[in-house]
């Protein structure tokens, strides 16, 4: 329960940060996708039903704040979780480099999912043009941030597990 | 069946979420999505947080801008302080040049009243002893300065040359106890010798008791000593005291020239007769 609350707060905090603070970073149009990093973390370290629903809700939150239609990011994040969950069974090594690589790959999956469903449901012309560069840059930024984000999440989780609530 | 679902609940939930999001997407794209309960709730929940964050960022940005402005102003302040120091130094230099120019102009005017042969000299050194009042000029015999010549300034008598080298000369000031200048009281025409003293200021010696000398009387050179040209101001009487006995009266004098403030002087011969000043 405590862990669920922590992840809920972290998720809402990331939505808040991503809609306000991160736009100020000198990265041009690229906004570091920390929500994606959190979804990957869940997929790798906490593959539970709550984590699946969390990914869906975080994607949905991004849709509420950013997408032209609801469901785009919810789909992408759910797919990312699914992909990471399936691949996590084959990943035996957990180190910063591996987490960065998984996040990088997950960012590409998210980009591909967005393009795919965007092409199907939004009928936007020329969606492919120039988008690869942005997917790559977004994936790169997310991959760079991933080790630190993972470390912070692990630390927070550990601290929470050590706290004993008096009855 | 239940065991299969339990074993693969994450996988099944994930598939369901993917499908559900596709359904939402499809409905939203076609405009069939009605009554989204989560969106408005989320927006309402996040609104105050977003406003708070935004305001905090604006404040932080303002603080950062303020700090940068402060740094810029501090840097500008330092630069201006440096500039003020430079300008102060420049101003002092110009004031010094102006003062020198004025002094030299006065000296030039004074020199024009003297016969030719006078030498303009600068003071380059003061007395190294407490007991003597002398200073050194930058002109010597090579410039026409000879021993015994008078040293004067536009303000009055300064002293006389007592030693000469080829490039410098030593001056005995009239404030020195060993010095003596033959003077006349400009008002009463009483005569005497002005000389320095160590204990008090300069005094006028050998002024007869019968002479009418008053405080404030101006004393000028008589020209009879063969050293100083006649008519140059020596000083002013500051105190007169007549004792009940003796031939002479006691007269204290304030010299017209403060020798320690002089920078340029004229060295003249006794033949110069500028007239009473």
pLDDT digits (tens, 9 = 90+) for B67-91: 999 999 999 999 999 999 999 989 9
What share of chain B in percent tops pLDDT 70?
Answer: 94
pLDDT value of residue A25: 73
Closest CA to B217 of B244, B241, B235: B235
**B223: its two tokens:** 């020209």
Tell me what pLDDT residue B157 has. 92
What residues are paired with B264 via a beta bridge?
A: B122
Q: What is the full DSSP assignment across A6-59?
A: HHHHHHHHHHHHHHTGGGGSSSTT----HHHHHHHHHHHH--SHHHHHHHHHHH
- pLDDT at residue B275 greater than cutoff 50: no
Which residue's structure tokens are 């609104």? B47
Q: What is the CA radius of gyration of chain A?
A: 16
- For the segment B177-210, what is each residue's pLDDT rounded down to a tens digit? 888 899 999 899 999 999 887 677 899 989 988 8
Inter-residue contact B21 to B30 (CB < 8 Å): no
Question: How does the average pLDDT of chain B come out, rounded?
Answer: 85
Q: Which pLDDT band, with edges at 50, 70 and 90, does B276 fall under?
A: very low
Asked if A159 reaches chain B (Cβ–Cβ under 8 Å), the answer is no
Interatomic CA distance for residues B93 and B56, integer angstroms: 54
**Contact (CB, 8 A) for B219 and B253:** yes
d(C-alpha A43, C-alpha A48), whole Å:
8
Min Cα distance B82 → chain A (Å) is 37
Q: Which residue in the set B22, B27, B39 is minimally distant from A64, CB to CB?
A: B39
For this complex, say whether ipTM is above 0.85. Answer: no
Walk along chain A (167 residues) in steps of 10 and give the mean pLDDT of each run.
76 81 72 89 88 90 79 91 88 81 93 84 63 85 91 84 64
Per-residue pLDDT at B44: 82
For residue A16, how many other CB atoms are within 10 A of its CB?
A: 19
Chain B residues interacting with chain A (CB cutoff of 8 angstroms): 9-11, 13-15, 17-18, 20-29, 33, 36, 38-39, 42-43, 45-46, 49-50, 53-54, 57
Of the pLDDT bands very low, low, confident and very high (cuts 50, 70, 90), residue B63 is: very high
Backbone angles phi, psi at B188, to 5 degrees: -95, -10
Q: Which residues of B68-96 are buried (b: 16+ CB within 10 A; e: fewer)?
A: eeeeeeeeeeeeeeeeeeeeeeeeeeeee
Residue linked to tokens 């709550």:
A50
**pLDDT for residue B239:** 92
CA distance B76 to chain A (A): 28
As a whole number, mean pLDDT of residues B25-45 equals 78
> What pTM does this model have?
0.53
Put simply, the chain A residues between 20 and 59 with a CB less than 8 A from any chain B CB are 20-21, 24, 47-49, 51-53, 55-57, 59
**What is residue A130's predicted lDDT score, i.e. its pLDDT?**
67
**What's the confidence (pLDDT) of residue A127?**
56
Q: Give the residues across from B123 on adjacent strands.
A: B137
Confidence check: pLDDT of B127 > 80: no
pLDDT for residue B237? 95
Assess whether pLDDT exceeds 70 at residue B142: yes
> Residue B192: beta bridge partners?
B183
């Amino acid at each position: 329960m405590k862990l669920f609350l922590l992840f809920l707060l972290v998720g809402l905090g990331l939505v808040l940060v991503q809609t306000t603070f991160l736009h100020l970073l000198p990265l041009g149009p690229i906004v570091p996708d920390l929500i994606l990093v959190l979804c990957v973390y869940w997929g790798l370290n906490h593959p539970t039903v709550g984590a699946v629903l969390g990914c869906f809700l975080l994607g949905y939150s991004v849709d509420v704040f950013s997408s032209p239609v609801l469901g785009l990011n919810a789909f992408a994040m759910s797919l990312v979780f699914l992909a990471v969950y399936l691949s996590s069974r084959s990943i035996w090594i957990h180190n910063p480099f591996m987490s960065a690589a998984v996040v990088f790959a997950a960012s590409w999956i998210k980009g591909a999912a967005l393009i795919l469903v965007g092409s199907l449901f939004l009928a936007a012309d020329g969606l492919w043009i120039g988008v690869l560069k942005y997917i790559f840059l977004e994936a790169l930024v997310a991959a760079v941030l991933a080790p630190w984000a993972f470390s912070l999440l692990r630390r927070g989780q550990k601290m929470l597990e050590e706290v004993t609530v008096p009855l | 069946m239940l065991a299969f679902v339990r074993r693969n609940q994450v996988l099944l939930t994930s598939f369901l979420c993917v499908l559900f999001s596709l359904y939402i997407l499809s409905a939203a794209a076609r405009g069939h999505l009605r009554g989204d309960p989560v969106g408005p709730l989320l927006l309402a929940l996040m609104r105050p947080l977003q406003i708070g964050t935004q305001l905090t960022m604006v404040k932080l940005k303002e603080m950062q801008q303020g700090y940068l402005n402060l740094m810029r102003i501090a840097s500008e302040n330092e630069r201006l302080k440096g500039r003020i120091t430079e300008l102060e130094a420049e101003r002092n230099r110009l004031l010094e040049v102006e003062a020198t120019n004025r002094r030299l102009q006065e000296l030039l005017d004074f020199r024009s009243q003297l016969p030719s042969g006078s030498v303009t000299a600068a003071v380059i050194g003061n007395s190294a002893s407490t007991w003597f009042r002398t200073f050194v000029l930058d002109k010597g015999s090579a410039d026409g300065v000879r021993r015994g010549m008078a040293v004067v300034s536009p303000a009055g008598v300064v002293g006389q040359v007592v030693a000469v080298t080829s490039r410098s000369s030593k001056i005995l000031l009239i404030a020195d106890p060993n010095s003596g200048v033959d003077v006349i009281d400009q008002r009463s025409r009483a005569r005497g010798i002005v000389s320095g003293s160590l204990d008090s200021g300069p005094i006028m010696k050998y002024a007869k008791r019968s002479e009418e000398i008053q405080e404030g009387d101006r004393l000028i050179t008589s020209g009879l000593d063969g050293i100083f040209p006649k008519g140059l101001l020596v000083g002013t009487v500051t105190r007169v005291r007549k004792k009940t006995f003796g031939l002479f009266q006691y007269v204290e004098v304030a010299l017209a020239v403060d020798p320690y403030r002089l920078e340029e002087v004229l060295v003249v011969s006794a033949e110069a007769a500028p007239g009473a000043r």
